[in-house]
Amino acid sequence: MSRLTIGTRGSALALWQARHVADRLRAIDPTLDVDLNVIKTRGDKILNVPLAMVGGKGLFVKEIEEALLAGDADVAVHSIKDVPAELPPGLHLGAIPQREDPRDALVSRSGSLQEIPTGGRIGTSSLRRTCLLSAIRPDIEICGLRGNVNTRLRKLDEGQFDAVVLAAAGLKRLGFEDRITQYLEFPWLPAVGQGALGLETRIDDERTDAWVQQLHHRQTALCVGAERALLRRLEGGCQVPIAAHATLSAQVVSVQAMVGHPSGSPVFRGRRQGPADQAAALGDALAGELLEQGAREVLAQLEWNQVDTSAPTDRF
């Protein structure tokens, strides 16, 4: 019997994702023995400070990657949006399964985003979402909100907020699709890689790569590759207000992206499209366009903490 160990965080969503991958691998070969190694990351341990104040990249993956390199896990199952654009030496994304819904969703006690009354409180843990909310509804109060999906929904139900913004994929995976009040559509854009999973493996582990490659989804990988190429050029982690979404139709990739200040102004937007085999180059070129528009200055401000770092960060 072959054996495979999956490294994962311990949140309900992370465990769902790891078990989902394990079930799909067992369906391919029922004799495969798959177990989980649950690992607490630095991001999981820092619960009383907004993550933007901590800084750095890979807050939710670093310890899992260390377990991979040490041989304590064969594959790590990540939400791609948690994964920095640059991976540690010796590791790569062995496969990217088919993407779930990439959109953000509003869960509200007060109707749609436009129906929330002036002064209403919206909870989010994302600088990107803070930027978009500030641009669209400058008359509402945006409040920092940490915790897993269940915790955030509980705080909403307790009346601490009028609404919260979460990733639609996480809500659907955990069985909370019926809680969604509104899907947030363009000009709203999701985080890079939102809704997609990344299966990270050791570069020299051909055995594990052979397993996970059977879960690989080419269309998702091309689109996520374009988004991550943009992120790499912008040198952004998950703690900055960068949004991007790529789609593939008839072998043409279309990439939309945004970089903005958490206050909602300025906001820089762009779009590129081209052949599927140039997806990464399109993302890189679009990043260059945004930098020339003025995004470079905004990102430099954030890097040096010259904005209000008490604002929330990009999680779920």
- Summarised one tens digit per residue, pLDDT across range 278-301 is 999 999 999 999 999 999 988 888
The string of DSSP letters for 175-199 reads T-GGG--EEE-TT----TTTT-EEE
Q: Regarding the domain delimited by 1-98+196-216, which CATH topology (the fold level of the hierarchy) does it fall under?
A: D-Maltodextrin-Binding Protein; domain 2 (3.40.190)
Sheet strands (E) in the chain? 3-8, 33-38, 75-79, 91-95, 104-108, 121-124, 141-144, 163-167, 182-184, 197-202, 242-249, 252-260, 267-275
Q: How far apart are CA 200 and CA 14, in angstroms?
A: 14
**pLDDT value for 309:** 34
**Residues 233-250: tens digit of each pLDDT:** 997 655 678 999 999 999
Least-confidence region, from 113-127, 215-229, 236-250: 236-250
CATH 3.30.160.40 domain residues, the chain? 217-308
Instruction: Kindly report the pTM of this predicted structure.
Output: 0.90
Location of structure tokens 């945006």: 142
**pLDDT value for 239:** 60
**pLDDT value for 125:** 80
Query: Is 82 among the catalytic positions?
Result: yes
Both ends of the chain: CA-CA distance in Å?
A: 36
CB 78 within 8 A of CB 195: no
CATH 3.40.190.10 domain residues, the chain? 1-98+196-216, 104-184
Within 10 Å of residue 164's Cβ, how many Cβ atoms?
A: 27
* pLDDT at position 150 over 80: yes
Whether domain 217-308 has CATH 3.90.1150.10: no
**pLDDT value for 179:** 98
**Residues 186-215: tens digit of each pLDDT:** 899 999 999 999 999 999 999 999 999 999
Class in CATH terms, 104-184: alpha beta
Active-site entry in 23, 35, 82, 162: 82
* pLDDT at position 43 over 80: no
